[in-house]
Amino acid sequence: MKKLVSLLALCALCIGAVAMVTACGSKPAKKSVWKVTTATSRRGNQAPEVTKPEDQYICFHSDGMAYYTEKENGKLVARKMGLYRMDAKEKTMLIGAQDYSYTLEKNSLTLTYSYSDPNDSSRNYSSISVCTLVTSPTEKEIKAIVKNR
């Protein structure tokens, strides 16, 4: 009987450890570049607007800065979004002065942002960006674009 209780306790401990590792440690890696595949935004009481951007990227650079990159006139242009900080436990990140919540599943990242004005609901805004991890452009290429700007 003691062996059975010990075995059950060990199983519970292993299951708990696996749950903690998979639930708490997941955040986008530094040096990662994400292509925005779908962007949904909504202002006030308007219907949501869904777009499928062709060449928009978010880079979490190893220098602690997040960059937004898009193609303009056939050329990639990168802009600093601001320093970023991520909280894997809460699934939130701060980029510049903007708070986002996120979900990360394998190579898919979903960023959600919302703003509510308690005095004027027509100013309320929300956006959801679905992104896919890419290998090109690289963080190094994006940093070079910012430097040469």
* pLDDT confidence of residue 57: 97
pLDDT band at 103 (very low <50, low <70, confident <90, very high): very high
Separation CA 140–CA 144 (nearest Å): 6
Across the chain, mean pLDDT equals 83
Q: Residue 109 pLDDT more than 90?
A: yes
Q: What is the pLDDT of residues 35-73, one digit of tens each?
A: 999 999 999 989 999 999 989 999 999 999 999 999 898
Q: Residue 4 pLDDT more than 80?
A: no
Mean pLDDT for 116-123 is 88
Q: What is the pLDDT of residues 72-102, one digit of tens each?
A: 988 999 999 999 999 999 999 999 999 999 9
Separation CA 119–CA 30 (nearest Å): 38
pTM of the model: 0.76
pLDDT band at 30 (very low <50, low <70, confident <90, very high): confident
Q: Name the phi and psi angles at 120, rounded to 5.
A: -150, 95
Separation CA 9–CA 81 (nearest Å): 48
Whether the CB-CB separation of 10 and 18 falls below 8 Å is answered with no
